[in-house]
Structure 1
């Protein structure tokens, strides 16, 4: 298994320095509503921004727009003209080791309440809530099992819930791999005002059936929680990118090494549908690729 799956994230992560930046909203068009418990953004912390841009640009056609910020480097990542994520240059962060990783960002109604919940539930506040201008107020945490995530309270509202599948190369699903499924489910249910339901799945490497929980907001499913594929992994939030077909997934996996990335887990079938693989770009940050055809329902509706 890849080194990023093996080393612990036992460090103090300052995702935002003392300087307060003005970042654009996560969505250009909203209805003004906040959707607590929904993952509304993704930031990639990279120790190789140039290599990362080339990798994802070639693999999925992502476009990177650099923002002029005082003392920091940040890029907005778009697909087909729609912003889907951001990239942070690790060299501008106060980190004592390589912390390249994808940071999934959860919507919360009140950042101070989120801080209280995290502390009461045994997690860590890695960055106190801070304003980042037009985007809103962000905070960075680790849950009680050590998985990193961020929360955002937007200024202009969260992205609306889509009625159509995202395009290939966009974010399809969010899954927590954790050492304690029940405790984590209770924690995120409280943090995001979500409901939980149980289900069965299989290990990413095609192992035996494992315990699985779904996080729901009404009829919409916001994410999944599963036990760790192997005991010596750290807990982490794994974002999933959509790929339309298995043939397309195999083609993408074949290109990954030549583009400077690594295939961490080859494609395997999932009981819920489709196939999944795990790759890492040049920075080493893992991300899953999930096949989901146009004839399948939104994963949020399962």
Structure 2
């Protein structure tokens, strides 16, 4: 085999989309997802692909961002879907090496499968603590005082300020991100989540970001009521590192793997934002 590793460019999006639809997940609109990074970033590529002649035989997607973390701008690369045809699996590692050869990036992997996880450990990726809780969304009586929950973009836009407003604007058009604003008196909390689907049907909300952990915890009942009655989601899944606690009315879940490799960032600085989790609805 004569196999080349080359960057995925804008011109390759349609061909890569067709490859992933045929060989990875046909339910995802890959063409939209690959073109759906709505925040401003100078990305070197969309990831890397293996080509045998002119034919794509493997891909490793990447989502890039520039983040202000710990008082300095950090360049992040989120490693996305990794798919290689069976005949070429022995060359899979070439894609990862090409990604990691890019200088100056901290790399996150937020949904690795079992096989890639072992490879990532060899390349010095470290695990994140993803202990989580599952909260049933119940139709609680509407008796929550002054607490209001809204998904209205206009309400969110005119209420948020500072870094939370920037975060919302960066993700407002991301295909997999959903947004809520919780208000109680003069307090407000921006919540970002994605929907987990089973056989194409939205099943539960996965919390990706909470702007005010204290208000989120105090407003958990109206939030979960809203997710059930307004969006048809029967439960809410939340990692404790995101919401800051294990809610009383919840079930503990075993952690699922998330990993990162960085010379400058600590685990507490790694989150689910600016990643495949907000860009790719599956």
TM-score, scaled relative to structure 2: 0.28
Structure with bigger helix share is: 2
**Larger radius of gyration, structure 1 or 2?**
2
TM-score, scaled relative to structure 1: 0.27
